[in-house]
């Protein structure tokens, strides 16, 4: 259940914004993330404006999270900013990917031309994201999509890049679709979310088989749903991803954060190690910082993973 929020005053908003933007120049990244989640939970256009100011930052990890949050807020006032981020070819592909995915989450048909345009982007994760986001907007606006939305489908509150597959299917059939690279990614994603919603060990093993794919985007989404599920069963697969320095940054980043949310004793030394490793990519080190903060939160019994705002348990899932 969502927590009811008091309206946030302009003064509080300004405080959150200055934490998010690190105006004092001494704010840790994980505090900035918590301020971001509080702003996201405010769910108004002032928060959209505050979050949008963060795209001048140097941290790709922070910026991709800004884009994710703007998508989850589902406010059309964020569209111009997200389009600018997608168009900026000097921007980190992980951030551009998340901007495209956010356009899909907001699901306004006016985003379709720009998403079509970037389905030929040189970066594979960006063009694949655009392809999926386009398919999602088409689906949402179809009669099937409208009927689908009328029912409750999932205990997860996130707006996903694709809906779970429609029919109740066996894990084996879903696994086959998940791994069938001849299918459009949107259909494979639907199998990902169906398996997530099933959530049994067999379903999780099927998802983990997806880590053998050649698409970084696809693999990062599997790590993301493992973060949502927070199931001990996925720890060995996630640790293999985090420790594999041949794996793409965006996949390792998502594995680190999933491990932070699962928060068992055995993941802690690995998160600490990769937070400090000088040879680790910045995104991986920073993800481990956020993961360590999530780990502490999960173990602390605090009710909210945010900075003064409310967030229901289980929705910590960062992008």
Those residues whose C-beta lies under 8 Å from the C-beta of residue 199, and which sit 6 or more positions away, are 229, 231
In the complex, minimum distance from the CB of residue 17 to Fe ion, in angstroms, rounded to a whole number: 22
- By C-beta, is 154 or 158 nearer to Fe ion? 158
In the complex, minimum distance from the CB of residue 195 to Fe ion, in angstroms, rounded to a whole number: 18
Q: Which of 233, 228, 173, 222 is nearest to 200 (CA)?
A: 233
Chain residues binding Fe ion by CB under 5 A are 319
In the complex, minimum distance from the CB of residue 126 to Fe ion, in angstroms, rounded to a whole number: 11
Q: Which residue's CB atom is positioned nearest to Fe ion?
A: 319
In the complex, minimum distance from the CB of residue 218 to Fe ion, in angstroms, rounded to a whole number: 11
Helix, strand, or coil (residue 89)? coil
Q: What H or E segment, with its residue span, contains residue 237?
A: helix 235-243
- By C-beta, is 126 or 319 nearer to Fe ion? 319
Alpha-carbon distances of 165 from 23, 162, 181, 205, rounded to whole Å: 45, 9, 17, 18
Binding residues for Fe cation: 64-65, 97-98, 220-221, 253-254
- What is the chain's alpha carbon radius of gyration, rounded to the nearest angstrom? 18
Helix axes 201-209, 185-198, angle to 10 degrees: 150
Helices (H) and strands (E) in the chain, counts: 17, 0
CA distance 221 to 192: 8
- By C-beta, is 96 or 270 nearer to Fe ion? 96
CA distance 137 to 94: 21
Binding residues: 64-65, 97-98, 220-221, 253-254
In the complex, minimum distance from the CB of residue 296 to Fe ion, in angstroms, rounded to a whole number: 20
- By C-beta, is 171 or 190 nearer to Fe ion? 190
116 in Cβ contact with 130 (< 8 Å) = yes
284 in Cβ contact with 249 (< 8 Å) = yes
- By C-beta, is 280 or 319 nearer to Fe ion? 319
- By C-beta, is 22 or 287 nearer to Fe ion? 287
In the complex, minimum distance from the CB of residue 257 to Fe ion, in angstroms, rounded to a whole number: 7
């Amino acid at each position: 259940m969502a927590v009811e929020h008091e309206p946030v005053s302009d003064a509080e908003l300004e405080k959150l914004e200055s934490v998010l933007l690190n105006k004092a120049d001494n704010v840790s990244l994980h505090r900035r993330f918590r301020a971001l989640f509080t702003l996201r939970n405010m769910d108004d256009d002032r928060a959209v404006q505050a979050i949008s100011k963060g795209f001048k930052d140097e941290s790709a990890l922070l910026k991709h999270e800004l884009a994710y949050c703007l998508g989850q807020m589902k406010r059309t006032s964020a569209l111009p900013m997200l389009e600018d981020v997608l168009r900026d070819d000097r921007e980190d592909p992980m951030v551009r990917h998340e901007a495209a995915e956010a356009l899909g989450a907001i699901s306004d048909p006016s985003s379709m031309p720009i998403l079509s345009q970037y389905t030929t982007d040189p970066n594979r994760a960006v063009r694949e994201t655009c392809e999926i986001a386009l398919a999602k907007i088409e689906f949402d606006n179809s009669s099937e999509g409208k009927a689908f939305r009328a029912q409750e489908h999932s205990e997860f509150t996130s707006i996903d890049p694709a809906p779970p597959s429609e029919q109740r299917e066996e894990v084996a059939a879903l696994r086959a679709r998940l791994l069938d690279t001849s299918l459009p990614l949107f259909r494979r994603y639907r199998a990902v979310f169906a398996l997530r919603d099933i959530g049994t060990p067999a379903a999780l093993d099927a998802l983990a088989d997806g880590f053998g794919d050649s698409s970084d985007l696809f693999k990062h989404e599997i790590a993301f749903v493992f973060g949502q599920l927070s199931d001990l069963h996925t720890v060995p697969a996630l640790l293999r991803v985090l420790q594999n320095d041949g794996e793409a940054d965006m996949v390792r980043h998502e594995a680190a954060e999933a491990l932070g949310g699962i928060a068992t004793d055995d993941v802690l030394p690995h998160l600490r190690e990769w937070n400090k490793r000088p040879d680790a990519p910045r995104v991986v080190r920073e993800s481990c910082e956020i993961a360590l903060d999530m780990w502490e939160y999960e173990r602390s019994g605090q009710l909210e993973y945010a900075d003064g705002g409310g967030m229901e348990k289980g929705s910590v899932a960062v992008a």
